[in-house]
């Protein structure tokens, strides 16, 4: 049974590790090739929009085939997409058009791959005879490790190799994730057949069905709302406020360490949930996560010494690890297996789009005010979203289910 968990977590971590390295190496390659920050922005947009569309479209496909097969195919698409760039560089030469084309192709690997692995978690837990809360906590910890190691590995590789050469490595990591997924027995990624739910079959063929299920289910709606609110605030903080602050202080070398501090917090939060998740009320976990997240944003918003910003990022990660674990478990318990792919695909589609709102909104607030003003606004928005969610019917339903 440990074999199933090992291969599941190893494939998840490898896939996330490859994505985190690519996220650093690819923008550097675009800048070195085109010499234009605008070009790097165009590639980012080219990746985000198709990723959201892929999440909506492929969710229904994931519900129709074995989730293990879907994860393997997604990793293969990612590996091939990234491999195209160094091959083109060696032959006819790279330009902005190739970067955009590969970003679009890669979008059909990233989000569907994440969705497939999230969707198979209940079946993995059942096959391994392990409580889903523990598996989710372990998954969050593995995600934290990947985010912690990824930037460091990317920095080392970029320092010793050309960015285009680094893409050979990331393609290999995506291929490794596919091979590790083969280690999961096919039977371990399938739940027993369930009778059709008359409330969901009506729209099951629509690529918007996942969104419809989320918005008409109070508990899912509350969890997605919280996830989107935290993503906006975190994107504004990590993607705009902190880089600008360190640039103004002539300390740009510290930007990458903020992500590492965040990852440490995620690792601890996920580990705590994996260990104690069954012993403490879900509402307590959720409320604690929201409070800790708020404290983290406030700590960062002071924009004090470097160590305080690292501490704030770690606190944000700790709260996020707790909140994300509860949210993941909520989707496991409240979505039928036959609908899980499209629902998680819809959620992941939304999560690929909202960070741009956070970064764009933060840029506008910085222009109108200051960095501290921007952090104050983002923290206030987060607090309002957290309080509204805790008072909502959806979160109250979580408490009632445990009583």
In a domain, 399, yes or no: yes
Whether residues 121 and 248 share a domain: the answer is no
In a domain, 140, yes or no: no
In a domain, 150, yes or no: no
Please, which residues have CB within 8 angstroms of residue 237's CB and are 6 or more apart in sequence?
297, 300, 316, 358, 362, 375, 378
In a domain, 178, yes or no: yes
Whether residues 94 and 209 share a domain: the answer is no
Classified as helix, coil or strand, 204 is coil
Residue 125 DSSP one-character state: H
Whether residues 166 and 227 share a domain: the answer is no
Question: Mean pLDDT lowest for which of 69-83, 91-105, 170-184, 288-302?
Answer: 91-105
Question: Mean pLDDT lowest for which of 25-39, 129-143, 180-194, 382-396?
Answer: 25-39
Whether residues 33 and 180 share a domain: the answer is yes
Read off the pTM: 0.77
Question: Mean pLDDT lowest for which of 226-230, 241-245, 314-318?
Answer: 241-245
Please, which residues have CB within 8 angstroms of residue 7's CB and are 6 or more apart in sequence?
180, 181, 183, 184
Classified as helix, coil or strand, 40 is helix
Of 142, 170, 191, the last residue of a domain is: 191
Whether residues 343 and 397 share a domain: the answer is yes
In a domain, 180, yes or no: yes
Give the C-alpha separation, 238 to 87, whole Å: 33
In a domain, 138, yes or no: no
Domain that holds residue 341: 203-403
Give the C-alpha separation, 181 to 8, whole Å: 7
Find the CATH number of the domain harbouring 215: 1.20.1250.20
Whether residues 273 and 180 share a domain: the answer is no
- Write down the H helix ranges in 183-301: 209-216, 218-236, 242-248, 255-276, 282-301
Whether residues 217 and 176 share a domain: the answer is no
Whether residues 52 and 96 share a domain: the answer is yes
Whether residues 247 and 113 share a domain: the answer is no
Q: What is the pLDDT of residues 171-225, one digit of tens each?
A: 999 999 999 999 888 887 776 655 444 444 444 445 578 888 888 888 888 888 8
Question: Mean pLDDT lowest for which of 32-46, 81-95, 124-138, 250-264?
Answer: 32-46
CB 21 within 8 A of CB 149: no
Counting the structural domains of the chain, the total is: 2
Task: Select the more confidently predicted residue: 253 or 299.
Answer: 299
In a domain, 104, yes or no: yes
């Amino acid at each position: 049974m440990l074999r199933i968990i090992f291969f599941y977590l190893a494939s998840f971590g490898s896939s996330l590790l490859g994505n985190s390295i690519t996220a650093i190496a690819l923008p550097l390659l675009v800048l070195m090739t085109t010499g234009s920050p605008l070009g790097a922005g165009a590639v980012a947009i080219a990746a985000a929009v198709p990723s959201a569309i892929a999440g909506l479209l492929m969710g229904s496909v994931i519900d129709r085939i074995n989730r293990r097969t879907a994860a393997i195919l997604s990793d293969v698409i990612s590996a091939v997409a990234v491999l195209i760039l160094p091959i083109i560089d060696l032959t006819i030469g790279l330009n902005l058009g190739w970067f955009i084309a590969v970003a679009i192709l890669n979008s059909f690997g990233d989000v569907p791959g994440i969705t497939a692995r999230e969707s198979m978690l209940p079946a993995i837990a059942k096959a391994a005879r392990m409580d889903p809360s523990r598996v989710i906590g372990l998954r969050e910890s593995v995600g934290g490790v990947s985010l912690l190691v990824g930037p460091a590995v990317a920095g080392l590789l970029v320092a010793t190799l050309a960015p285009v050469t680094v893409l050979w490595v990331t393609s290999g990591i995506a291929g490794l994730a596919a091979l590790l997924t083969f280690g999961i027995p096919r039977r371990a990624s399938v739940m027993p057949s369930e009778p059709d739910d008359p409330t969901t079959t009506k729209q099951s063929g629509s690529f918007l069905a996942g969104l419809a299920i989320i918005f008409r289910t109070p508990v899912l709606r509350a969890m997605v709302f919280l996830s989107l609110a935290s993503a906006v605030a975190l994107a504004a903080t990590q993607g705009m406020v902190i880089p600008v602050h360190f640039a103004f202080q002539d300390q740009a070398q510290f930007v990458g360490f903020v992500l590492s501090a965040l990852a440490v917090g995620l690792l601890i939060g996920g580990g705590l949930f994996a260990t104690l998740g069954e012993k403490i009320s879900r509402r307590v976990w959720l409320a604690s996560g929201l409070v800790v997240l708020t404290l983290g944003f406030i700590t960062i918003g002071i924009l004090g010494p470097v160590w305080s910003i690292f501490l704030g990022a770690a606190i944000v990660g700790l709260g996020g690890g707790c909140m994300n674990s509860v949210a993941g478990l909520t989707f496991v318990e409240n979505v039928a297996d036959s609908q899980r792919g499209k629902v998680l695909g819809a959620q992941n589609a939304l999560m690929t789009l909202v960070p741009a709102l956070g970064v764009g909104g933060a840029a506008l607030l910085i222009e109108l005010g200051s960095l501290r003003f921007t952090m104050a606004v983002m923290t206030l928005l987060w607090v309002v979203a957290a309080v509204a969610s805790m008072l909502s019917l959806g979160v109250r339903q979580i408490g009632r289910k445990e009583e």
